[in-house]
Structure formats: C-alpha cells, structure tokens
Amino acid sequence: METKKVWFITGASKGLGLALVKKLLEKNYRVVATSRNSQSLISEIGETSENFLPLEVNLTDNEDVKAAISKSIDHFGRLDVIVNNAGYGQIGTLEELTDKEARANFDINVFGTLNVIRNAMPHLREQRSGHIFNISSIGGYSGNFPGWGIYCSTKFAVAGLTEALAEEIKDFGVKATVVYPGYFRTDFLSKDSIKTPENVIQEYETARNSEQSHLDEINGNQPNDPGKGAEALIAISEEQNPPVHFLLGSGTSDFLDNKIKIITDDAEKWENLTLSTVI
C-alpha cells in the first residue's frame, strides 16, 4: 500500500489553508498544520494523531520555524509538500502606511515564507524530492488595485522568489509553484482578517472606494469555493511536471489577459524610445 505524502501547511486555521487541511485528511494524507494559535487548529480539526500534527508557530522567528520543521519530521519521518499559505491583507495607500505597517506585512507574507523555505529545503534536498507551493494572489500578478499597494508588492515578491526557487532546486528533484488565487469565499476580506491604515488620508477617494467595495460588496460574494481550490492544489501536487505558475479560480485569466495587453501596448507605443538607447 502506497504511503501518503506528508504536507506542511502554514496559515492553516482558516480560509484556503483550513480547506486544504480538511481535504487532505479526508483523502488520508498526513498533515502538519501551523497557526499562531494551535488551539484554533485543534478546535477545527482535532488533537494530534497519526495523520495530523497541529503546531503553534511564529513564522517571523527563524528558530521557531526551524523547530517546527524538526518536530514535523520527528512525527512523520519526512516532509513532501510545503504550502506557504500564511499571510494577511494590509489596506492603505503607499503614502498612508507607516514604515512599521509596511514592514509588518512583508515580515509575514514574504520573510515568513523565506523562513519556511530555508528550513525545509535541507530535508527536501537530501531526500531528492518534494514540492513547495507559495501562495501569492492575483494581486501578485496585477497590482493595479489602489489602496492595496503594499499587500500586492508582498505577493509580487512571493512570485519572484518562487521563479528563482524553481530554478535553484530543480536539480534536486524538488518542484516549486507560485499560486495566484482569485476571489475565494473565505474570511480574508472580513474586518477581523484585514488591517486598515492607522493614518487615513481622506483625499485618496479612489483608494477608499476600492477598499470599501472589497470589504462591503465583494466580501461574502466571492465566486470561488475554497474546497474546490484545495482539490485543485492536491491534483497539481500529484503531477510529475507541475507548473511554476498556477492561476487558481475563475476570473484570474481575465487579469492575465489584461496585464499582457497593458504591457504589450506600452512596449509597442514606446518601442522607438526603447531602441534609441542602442549605439
């Protein structure tokens, strides 16, 4: 009988992360689930078992992440799939957000991801197999959302580091995929899950309108089902040659097409100036 893979998932207490944990356990995979509060995981899923290990982890603390990876391997003997899902949305224009607010968003969304990669890769490299999923956002491909600049920039960073990671680790038989989810029916846009700026500048009317439409209109009406999103990720994990870039959910291809058109149009319009730099 084939032994099921061991998954390590951050940000697993809610949203897409929680949906993924539940789907995996239904399919008899073995799962390490991390959160800032392990009790939230136990309340949703249950206590530690032969297939489930809930861990309380501070992703911004490299030593804490290192310890979590060690505990996971001690419990299951190996790791096969890493899902860097933890993150939060920070609303606010670039002028409004303080240095502290901006850095805090990068600390979780980017540097927390790097801490996991840094500590998981020695094990994946040694066993010559594995798959790392880094959860970005469609806002990590198309950043033209006023009031979401810092959040989008963290997700652009996740996409960029995943592209490099995929090239760095392929010789070890390890895969990397950046996932761009669209709008999923999770609590990501709820007031308890998203941060707003401490110092609001009312003159930014376009940003305020964008923020309010997300919080009041889009929230709760997202078209995509997180359970089906989880099933898609599981299917990708079983592919021999998985994609480096994976658009997840309806509506994401529209952002892809629009971004390609914008860049292509700009490149064609300004080609003469571009080529004028040639001696």
Residues acting as catalytic residues: 151
Displacement of CA 148 from its chain's centroid (Å): 16
Question: What is the SS3 assignment for 30?
Answer: strand
89-90/81-84 β-pairing: unpaired
The amino acid at residue 240 is: Q
Scanning the structure block, which residue is given the tokens 């949703």?
A: 44
Mapping DSSP to helix (H, G, I), strand (E, B) and coil, where does residue 17 land? helix
∠ Cα 113 7 130 (to 5°): 75
Tokens of 127: 């066993």
A 10 A CB-CB count for 17 gives 26
Cα–Cα distances (Å) from 5 to 11, 57, 68, 77, 279, in that order, read 19, 22, 18, 11, 56
Q: What angle do CA 252, 11, 234 make, to 5 degrees?
A: 55
Which is nearest to 194 in space by CA: 176, 211, 218, 217? 211
User: Cα–Cα distance between 191 and 102 in angstroms, integer?
Assistant: 18
Of 72, 81, 101, 73, nearest to 89 by C-alpha is: 101
